[in-house]
Amino acid sequence: MEEIFRAFKENKPALLSFFFILIVIITAIFAGLISPHNPDRINVDAILLPPGWHHILGTDQLGRDVLSRLIYGSRISIEVGFIAVSISLLIGVPLGAYAGYYGGLADSILMRFVDIMLTFPSFFLILAISAILKPSIINIMIIIGLTSWMGIARIVRAEFAQNREKDYVQAARASGAGGSYIMFSEILPNAMAPILVYATLGIAGAVLIQASLAFLGIGIMPPTASWGGMLSGGKTYIMVAWWLTLFPGLAILFMVLSLNLIGEALRDALDPRYKGLKLRKVS
């Protein structure tokens, strides 16, 4: 933990990104208290109002408050990001651990299956499945999770293959510990650094995918507020109401950028191989 605190203290962009993500999470949790207006309330007397005192970020083509919809839209991004990555970890980590620890035929079969899955363009696969299934946020979470576990499986497999012959693993075997205990109680804690980095970057990817699907009109359906949906609805009025695309676009940009900066800071703090590479480059 000390290395993480030191890395964030030395990396000001990552520290600012951490506080930004923290604010987004708090905003999403307390959206009902923070939101100045009902995000779904249509007001024909306030259509396409520019940013002002009563509507800080303006209103959309139906008179709905843009700031309120941004606040509620953050809930969608947070939920999709965290749950989709959790699903991918639940699939990828055990498969990668099994393949890396036991090796042999099991490793070959599992990794060839991963290679086959990686041959499919992920976004188009998600797009196709989303178009077939009933539009809902739950389906989007599951689809993104089921189509994004391959990367973490390969990372975990490499970590377990590297650690399975180390002294602490040999000592656990000699004491009579079983394979499952060794994998998840001995090796996994030593492989958490790349998993945490992958999870952080994976959340950013899931947020971007969900926004892209919503922009295309797939997944999150109106009137539910989502950042991608707000972008899609505002593109028609971009020449007369710039705020409809600017503010959702900035929200997505800062969200994804912040998560990537946090992931890089975690990698600097937790991955000794990367730190060694940086030191060699500096010297």
63-108 pLDDT, tens digit per residue, is: 999 999 999 999 999 999 999 999 999 999 999 999 999 888 888 9
- Which of these, 185, 186, 106, lies nearest to 153 by C-alpha position? 106
What single-letter DSSP state applies at residue 59?
Answer: B
SS (H, E, C) 251-278: HHHHHHHHHHHHHHHHHHHHCHHHHHHH
Residue 112, burial from CB neighbour count under 10 angstroms (0-12, 13-18, 19+): exposed
Domains for the chain: give ranges and CATH numbers.
2-282 (1.10.3720.10)
Give dist(CA 47, CA 64) in Å, integer: 8
- What pLDDT does 127 receive? 79
- What pLDDT does 93 receive? 93
- Which of these, 22, 21, 23, lies nearest to 34 by C-alpha position? 23
pTM: 0.86
> What residues pair up with 59 in beta bridges, in sequence order?
65
Bin 176: left if φ > 0, else alpha if -120 < ψ < 50, else beta: left
- What pLDDT does 70 receive? 95
Residues of the chain with pLDDT under 50: 276-277, 279-283
Taking CB atoms within 8 Å and a gap of at least 24, the contacts of 29-33 are 31/71, 31/72, 31/74, 31/75
Residue 124, burial from CB neighbour count under 10 angstroms (0-12, 13-18, 19+): exposed
> What residues pair up with 65 in beta bridges, in sequence order?
59
- What pLDDT does 81 receive? 92
Residue pointed to by tokens 């390969």: 154
Give all strands (DSSP E) within 28-139, no chain letters.
Answer: none
- What pLDDT does 272 receive? 59
- What pLDDT does 275 receive? 53
Give dist(CA 273, CA 279) in Å, integer: 10
- What pLDDT does 270 receive? 75
- What pLDDT does 18 receive? 92
- What pLDDT does 276 receive? 46
Which residues touch 92 (CB under 8 Å, ≥6 apart)?
149, 150, 151, 152, 153, 156
